[in-house]
């Protein structure tokens, strides 16, 4: 495996999402096993801050550290399948699996949008204006989601927009944030998702 230095960063948004998903699944695996962060950090001989970096999908954590955490959680066998014929065999996708590329594309668009508003907070007002126009239509099917978006924009709860949950996916389907993403960046994300075939990481 390639060495990932402490200062490593990932510019490709798809790569960043994959690493973020890995970190989230490692944390979920730890919680399912009833292991505290203090206990796991001691097992792996790392600091809690380093474990936090791993569980948040930080590129600053070395590949060796990710490997140690995987093994400590009993997931070493899964890692051994990477690049093997068994790992490349794809099952027939279910109806829900076929929505994965769309969900990933939506998540990536929101990551870009969140970065934009963090860099330029004045863009929040633009998203709020768009949301106000939508709410004026009185669509009862999405009104509840738009009300949640109003609170998200007012309180700048960007983690809600990027949440890997059913509610997060529903929110992204009714989001005014994506209107902030420049057209070229939209096209780049769509191409990236299509190029990777919409493959999803398996749950830990």
| pLDDT score of 66 | 92
Which range has the worst mean pLDDT, 47-61, 115-129, 139-153?
Answer: 139-153
| pLDDT score of 3 | 38
| pLDDT score of 106 | 85
Report, as an integer, the average pLDDT of 137-159: 86
Per-residue pLDDT tens for 83-141? 555 444 444 444 444 446 677 888 888 989 999 999 999 999 999 999 998 888 766 76
Between 17 and 110, the more confident residue is: 110
What lies within 8 Å, CB to CB, of 100 at 6+ separation is 93, 198, 199, 200
| pLDDT score of 91 | 44
Please check the confidence at residue 6 and state whether its pLDDT lies above 50: no
Among the listed residues 126, 99, 116, the one whose alpha carbon sits nearest the alpha carbon of residue 161? 116
Q: Name the DSSP class of 93.
A: P
The CATH class for the domain spanning 13-79 reads mainly alpha
Among the listed residues 107, 101, 100, the one whose alpha carbon sits nearest the alpha carbon of residue 177? 107
How many other C-beta atoms can be found within 10 angstroms of the C-beta atom of residue 21?
Answer: 18
Among the listed residues 27, 82, 15, the one whose alpha carbon sits nearest the alpha carbon of residue 56? 27
Please check the confidence at residue 147 and state whether its pLDDT lies above 80: yes
d(CA 8, CA 19): 12
Please check the confidence at residue 156 and state whether its pLDDT lies above 70: yes
- The per-residue DSSP string of 60-87 comes to TS-HHHHHHHHHHTT-HHHHHTTTSHHH
d(CA 166, CA 163): 8
Q: Where are the domains of the chain?
A: 13-79, 97-195
Please check the confidence at residue 162 and state whether its pLDDT lies above 50: yes
94 to 74, 91, 172, 187, 193: CA distances (angstroms): 28, 9, 22, 27, 19
Please state, for a pLDDT cut of 70, what percent of the chain lies above it: 74
* Band of residue 7 on the pLDDT scale cut at 50, 70, 90: very low
Please check the confidence at residue 38 and state whether its pLDDT lies above 80: yes
């Amino acid at each position: 495996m390639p060495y990932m230095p402490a200062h490593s960063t990932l510019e490709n948004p798809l790569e960043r999402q994959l690493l973020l998903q890995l970190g989230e699944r490692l944390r979920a695996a730890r919680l399912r096993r009833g292991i505290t962060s203090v206990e796991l950090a001691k097992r792996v001989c790392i600091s809690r801050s380093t474990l936090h970096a791993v569980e948040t999908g930080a590129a600053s954590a070395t590949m060796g550290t990710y490997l140690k955490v995987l093994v400590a959680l009993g997931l070493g066998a899964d890692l051994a399948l990477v690049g093997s014929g068994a790992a490349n065999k794809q099952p027939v996708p279910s109806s829900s699996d076929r929505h994965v590329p769309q969900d990933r594309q939506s998540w990536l668009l929101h990551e870009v949008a969140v970065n934009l508003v963090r860099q330029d907070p004045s863009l929040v007002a633009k998203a709020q204006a768009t949301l106000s126009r939508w709410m004026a239509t009185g669509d009862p099917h999405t009104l509840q989601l738009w009300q949640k978006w109003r609170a998200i924009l007012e309180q700048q709860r960007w983690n809600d927009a990027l949440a890997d949950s059913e509610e997060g996916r529903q929110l992204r389907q009714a989001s005014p944030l994506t209107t902030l993403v420049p057209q070229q960046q939209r096209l780049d994300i769509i191409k990236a998702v299509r190029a990777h075939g919409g493959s999803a990481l398996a749950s830990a």
